[in-house]
Amino acid sequence: MKASSENWLKIAQKDLKVAKLSLNGEEAMACIFHMHAAIEKILKGIADERGSKVPRSHNLKHIAIDACQIKLEKHLEELFTELDQSFMDSRYPESIEEFELQYTLDYCSKLLKEVESTFRWLKNLLIKN
């Protein structure tokens, strides 16, 4: 694996760790931010490893499809869309109270399980390149 791709992986792993810590600390906004960041950065590692230009984008589907050349199954498209939307909501909430009503700790816990599973799958793609 390229050193630059390995760096993306290390940063992605740190973001996933912080997402878990944020959930344990009952901080939904930070948990969502770091779940998205973990997936975004491991995708950028895959793009880098495959010799693609690493995009300056936060759009997970765009990165996966265009930069990584990954054919996304429907459930991954839906997950990436959900992560992109929740990420935007976490960055620019109209009100913290409304945000926390929509993105509960239970919601974050369920989403984190999907993110961890997807992260493992993406890590395997990165390592196999």
Q: What is the pLDDT of residues 71-81, one digit of tens each?
A: 999 999 999 99
Rounded percentage of the chain residues whose pLDDT exceeds 70: 99
Domain that holds residue 14: 3-128
Is residue 37 over pLDDT 90? yes
What's the confidence (pLDDT) of residue 76? 97
Domain count, the chain: 1
What integer is the mean pLDDT of 47-69?
95
What integer is the mean pLDDT of 42-60?
96
Q: Are 112 and 19 in contact (CB under 8 A)?
A: yes
Dihedral angle sign, alpha carbons of residues 18, 83, 124, 50? negative
Lowest mean pLDDT among 27-31, 46-50, 90-94, 116-120: 90-94
CATH number at residue 100: 1.20.120.330
pTM equals: 0.96
Q: Which residues contact 48 (CB under 8 A, 6 or more apart)?
A: 2, 4, 5, 8, 54
What integer is the mean pLDDT of 47-67?
95
Q: What is the chain's mean pLDDT, rounded?
A: 96
What's the confidence (pLDDT) of residue 128? 87
Is residue 24 over pLDDT 90? yes
Tokens 């944020």 map to which residue?
22
Q: Which two tokens stand for residue 52?
A: 């693609």
